[in-house]
Every structure is written in C-alpha cells, then in structure tokens.
Amino acid sequence: MLYLDHAATTPVRPEVLEAMLPHLRDRFGNPSSHHTVGEAAAHALDDARRRVASVLGMRPGDIVFTSGGTEANNLAVKGLSIGASQRAGAPVHVVTTAIEHESILAACDYLERVHGFAVTRLPVTSTGRIDPDALRAAVRPQAEGRPTALVSIGYANNEVGTVQEVGAVAEVCREARVPLHLDAVQAAGWLPLAGTGADALSIAGHKIGAAPGVGVLAVRGRLPLEPLLHGGGQERERRSGTENVAGAVGFAVALERAEAERVDTAARTAARRDAFIARVLSLVPSARLTGDPVHRLPGTASFTFAGVSGEAVLLELERRGVVSSSGSACAAGSDEPSHVLLALGLPPDVAQTAVRFTFGHGGDLDLLPVADAVAGAVAAVRSGG
C-alpha cells in the first residue's frame, strides 16, 4: 500500500523513537519534582526547548510545548487575543482568512460568540492567496476603540497547499504594530521557519515525524498570553499540566532533522510533484489543479475531477493500492463541501470531487505510476466499473 496522506499524519522517525524511549522507560520523572529523577527530566525538557528555539530563531523561553497543532492554534488565537483585550480593557479585533484550518476558524468563532470580539475573515484569490493590501485595509489602528489585536493566517494551506506571501503579510503587521501568528503546521519541514517575521508560530509534531500528541506554540515572551489550561503554572504559567518530556524530546529531534533535510528534500519533492501534476492533467481531461500552481507546498498536489465523486475515486485508488484523502483529516466524515474550496470560488458540486495527494519528506518516490493509477481510478468510477 502506497501512503500519500502525509498532510494528515506522518510515520514516526526511527531516531525520534530512539530518543523518546529512555524517557518513557527509565528517565520517567516529573520535571516539576525536586529530586534527582525529576531534575533529570527537567534538564531533558530544557534541552528540547533550547533546540526547538534554535531552529525557529527564537528564545527558549518563547517555546510552549502543547498537545499538538490544534491546541497551539487555540492558545495563539484565544490566548493572544484575550491577553490583548485584558490590556485594552475591552473586546478587540482579530483578522484571519476564509481558508484557515478549523482550529483557527473555530477559535475565532468562539471569541466572537462568547467574548464579543470583532473578527474579519479576509477573502482569498481563486488560488488561495490573500492580498496584502486587503490585509492593510482590514487592520484597525491602535488608536481606535477596538483595535486589531492579532492577525492569524496559515503559512501554507492544509488542503490545497497554497503558500502565503508571509514577508508581505509580516510587513503589514509591522507597520500596524499588530502581532502576527502563523499556523505553520503544514509548512514545517518544507518552508523556512526562522525569519518569517511572525510573533507566534504553531507546529504539530506528527506532521514532521514526531509522535502524535506533542506540538509547539512559539510566542514572543513580550506578548500577553492568557492560558487555556490553568493549574500548576508549568510552561512559564502559559500552559499548566505535567509536561510530556518524551514527546518534547522527540519533537526536538524531528524538527532538527526536518530542518537539516529541508532544502534538498523540498527541491527533489517539488520536481516529482510537478511531473505528477502534469501527468494527471494530461491523462484526465476533467482534472483541475486546486491551489496556487507556483506558490505551493512541495509535497502537495490537489485536484477536482468534475462529474465523479471524490470519495468514490478515493475508494477506487485504495483498491489499486494508493491511500490519499479528500482534504483535511480534521473534517473527515463531513458531507459538506470543503470551506477552503468554496472560498476559492468552486461550486459545491465540484468541491465535492476533490482528491488530495500529499507526499512524505523522503523525496525519492516515483509518482508517475501513481498518476496512471489516478487516471484509471477516475475512468473506472466514471464508467461505473
């Protein structure tokens, strides 16, 4: 079976398992405990924090270990916005886009519904990019009664792979003196993470070969951050709860390896991706590439196949030994068309024909036979065979 759903999750790297095992078996102390076993765990946690910060170009104290990308995004959107609101003494304003991951959009809905915040959801182009000038117009000056407290966008989209012009976005935020949060869950391992201009960055371990259940929110220490979890005050009082030391250690290893391999792997994978896209488009007349044809993740190729069910194509592909998806794993099982594809302007019936192929960080897979399998699967579904 050929697994092409790496945007959903990736296999754990062997070196990550090797690094984690001692902290699951022998060095199992609670890092808050004041004895030698606990102090050894605290040292390992501090070392993991330092290594992650080094890759991200931030300070060790900026790193908050979380349970994954969803928690990291919630902590960024809710924590930074509520923190700013407390400082301002009134509800504030948040800017995001219409194509964000559900964890961003749902967090914004919560702020709007429960706390009375104003939320602007920027539209995107037909390829999924935002207009920096539209962002500039949406940001409210700090002198206003409800100023913009946060801009939160995805560095790269999880469904269609479109990469935003983060340099231009960061420049707008700098001019307006508004913190920028980047959801970098899909970008990690493919795109540069240091020097983006972001004030906060979310990463999920299981997208880069770490174990599920660990993530990071890197957030500048100068920003007021209201915690989601209250209790013992761990993570500099920004995320209470006994830390997942083994997960943090594994995350640090996975992030370092992904960054070390990134430039070479991204180039090799992008070349194979482009050949795959070209072959699918040539073999399947109804196929349409979704997302930006140039500014896209090296490991993502997503299509619609008008006139056939995307789910039926997925089942036929799996019968042929190829596992892929229709989009975000977080929306799996939903009968509704993708909000991302609708925001790109696709009709609902076309959006429901979507199939997404996402490749791992190996970069050496021959994808041309997969393109042939796609053509065969679409033809089989169309003929009812």
- Catalytic site positions: 330
Handedness of CA 119, 123, 128, 132 (dihedral sign): negative
- Burial string for 214-245 (b: 16+ CB within 10 Å, else e) reads bbbbbbbeebebbbbeeeeebbeebbeeebbb
Q: Can you tell me the distance from the alpha carbon of 149 to that of 151, in angstroms, rounded to the nearest whole number?
A: 7
Neighbour count for residue 205 (Cβ, 10 Å): 32
Q: Can you tell me the distance from the alpha carbon of 23 to that of 110, in angstroms, rounded to the nearest whole number?
A: 37
- Indicate the SS3 state at residue 184: coil
Look at the block and give the residue holding tokens 């990736």.
10
- List, in sequence order, the alpha helices (H) in the chain: 14-25, 36-56, 69-74, 80-88, 102-115, 132-138, 166-176, 234-237, 245-283, 310-319, 339-343, 348-351, 368-383
Give the distance from CA 140 to its chain's centroid.
Answer: 26
